């Protein structure tokens, strides 16, 4: 091996180690702290019945959809284990992820002993397992997705509870923005004096609602998922609510508004949570929002692979635009590599390359193990290109860069 090749190999090794050792803030998850009781999902049966795997198992099983939903979690897990792990090699990202999590939690994946895996998790307590998983994934903290319109979650927030500092809140407002007609009645029931027509008084009451929940949750940001046909500006309740309610309140509290754009909800309703699809969206509306509201901070992730390059270019134009994650159907090694390489080449280190979107606690173990590997590989390539110019890089600078990518950029954007 030439000295250059040795240097590159040594550099690659340092980058992988440093990225692995850098604690992460995971800025978008569907996790809950143990305070939320049954809303916190964990263990091998929850891993195996992740909606990604339910979609995959229904491709190879003749089970009627309606029958699937009558099964218990354990029965669904048995179905997935048989069809996707034993009847064929579990090479999909969601399948591999289950095995990475089990392996890193110290279980014998070669045994394929599902009963033993179940016994391991049955011996844990939620609080203890949170500590184990955060240590195993090298997570510092996570941001939850907190929905005041969720009937299970709402009363927990109203009653109040002792916060686990590792679990931050994000105020999720899809029902407000995407279903105003139904939501207006809910707001009325909670004592907000609102009318469907969205007149000035109603807009003020919606701002009060948002402010109340930002304070109640100590929300780091407000978030919404949006369909591919989302446009701004537009003469619609959603556009009015964003312009007249969400953005002024976000400015008042100095918190970002996160837009997750491109999801086609329920393209196959028979799959329930697994039934959503993806569509090409307009980056123009992101550019419009960033230009029209320069005092607002926008976090954006888009679901279509084909939107990623134009979104990077938009981010070059607007410093109030923070790109984050390889969302959902993009959270696969080949696409994380492609998108992260594009982002580093166009935006340098001014992005948040990944979030886990984890729904099951143990998923952070695999989602971050897999993403760290890809991000480290891309970063090492970029550093190799850099040192080929004669630039000299030391480990403290690699540590600095990794810390920015894996949490620092997010916190700087939040606190800006």
Cβ-based neighbours of 402, under 8 Å, separated by 6 or more: 15, 18, 19, 22, 379
149 binds ligand HDL (CB under 6 A): no
* Shortest Å, Cβ 157 to Zn ion: 19
For the window 255-284, what string marks contact with ligand HDL as x by the rule CB under 6 A?
-----x------------x-----------
Cβ-based neighbours of 219, under 8 Å, separated by 6 or more: 146, 169, 170, 171, 213, 255
* Shortest Å, Cβ 79 to Zn ion: 25
Nearer to ligand HDL, 100 or 225 (CB): 225
338 binds Zn ion (CB under 5 A): no
Taking CB under 5 A as the criterion, the residue among 357, 371, 374, 382 binding Zn ion is 357
372 binds ligand HDL (CB under 6 A): no
328 binds ligand HDL (CB under 6 A): yes
For the window 335-364, what string marks contact with ligand HDL as x by the rule CB under 6 A?
----------------------x-x-----
Helices (H) and strands (E) in the chain, counts: 20, 9
Rounded Cα distance between 269 and 120, Å, is 35
CB 288 within 8 A of CB 233: yes
The pairing of strands 277-278 and 263-264 is: antiparallel
Nearer to ligand HDL, 225 or 371 (CB): 225
Rounded Cα distance between 342 and 329, Å, is 17
* Shortest Å, Cβ 260 to ligand HDL: 6
Binding window for Zn ion (CB under 5 A); candidates: 231-239, 308-316, 330-338, 349-357:
349-357
Nearer to Zn ion, 287 or 330 (CB): 330
Two tokens, residue 312: 């990077």
Nearer to Zn ion, 147 or 357 (CB): 357
205 binds Zn ion (CB under 5 A): no
Cβ-based neighbours of 336, under 8 Å, separated by 6 or more: 326, 330, 353, 354, 370, 371, 374, 375
Rounded Cα distance between 314 and 35, Å, is 39
Two tokens, residue 376: 């480290």
Give me the phi and psi of 242, to 5 degrees please: -65, -50
Q: Which residue, chain included where needed, has tokens 């391991």?
A: 120
Chain positions 231 to 260 lying near ligand HDL, rule: CB under 6 A, are: 260
Residue with the shortest CB distance to Zn ion: 357
Contact residues toward Zn ion (CB under 5 A) are 357
Contact residues toward ligand HDL (CB under 6 A) are 30, 145, 225, 260, 273, 328, 357, 359
């Amino acid at each position: 091996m030439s000295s250059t090749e040795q240097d590159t190999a040594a550099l690659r090794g340092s980058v992988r180690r440093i990225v692995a050792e850098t604690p992460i803030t995971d800025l978008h998850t569907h996790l809950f702290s143990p305070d939320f009781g049954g809303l916190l999902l964990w263990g091998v049966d929850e891993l195996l019945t992740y909606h990604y795997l339910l979609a995959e198992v229904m491709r190879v099983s003749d089970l009627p959809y309606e029958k699937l939903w009558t099964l218990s979690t354990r029965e669904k897990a048995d179905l997935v284990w048989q069809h996707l792990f034993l009847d064929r090699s579990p090479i999909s990202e969601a399948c591999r992820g289950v095995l990475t999590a089990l392996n890193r939690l110290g279980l014998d994946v070669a045994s394929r002993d599902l009963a033993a895996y179940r016994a391991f998790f049955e011996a844990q307590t939620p609080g203890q397992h949170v500590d184990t998983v955060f240590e195993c994934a090298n997570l510092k903290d996570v941001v939850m997705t907190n929905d005041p319109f969720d009937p299970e979650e709402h009363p927990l927030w109203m009653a109040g509870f002792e916060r686990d500092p590792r679990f931050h809140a994000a105020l999720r407002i899809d029902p407000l923005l995407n279903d105003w007609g139904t939501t207006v009645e809910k707001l009325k029931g909670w004592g907000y004096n609102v009318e469907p027509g969205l007149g000035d008084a109603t807009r003020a009451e919606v701002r009060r609602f948002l402010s109340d929940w930002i304070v109640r949750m100590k929300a780091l940001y407000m978030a919404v998922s949006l369909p591919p046909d989302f446009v701004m500006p537009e003469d619609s309740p959603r556009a009015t609510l964003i312009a007249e309610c969400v953005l002024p309140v976000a400015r008042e509290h100095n918190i970002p508004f996160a837009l997750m754009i491109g999801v086609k909800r329920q393209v196959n309703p028979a799959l329930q949570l697994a039934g959503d699809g993806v569509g090409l969206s307009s980056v123009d509306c992101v550019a419009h929002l960033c230009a029209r509201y320069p005092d607002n901070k926008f976090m954006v992730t888009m679901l279509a692979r084909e939107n990623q390059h134009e979104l990077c270019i938009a981010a070059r134009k607007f410093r109030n635009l923070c790109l984050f994650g390889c969302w959902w159907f993009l959270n696969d090694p080949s696409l994380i590599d492609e998108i992260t390489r594009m982002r580093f080449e166009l935006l340098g280190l001014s992005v948040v390359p990944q979030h886990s979107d984890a729904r099951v606690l143990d998923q952070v173990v695999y989602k971050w193990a897999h993403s760290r590997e890809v991000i480290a590989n891309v970063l090492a390539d970029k550093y190799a290109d850099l040192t080929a110019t004669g630039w000299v890089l030391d480990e403290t600078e690699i540590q600095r860069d990794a810390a920015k990518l894996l949490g620092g950029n997010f916190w700087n954007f939040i606190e800006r």
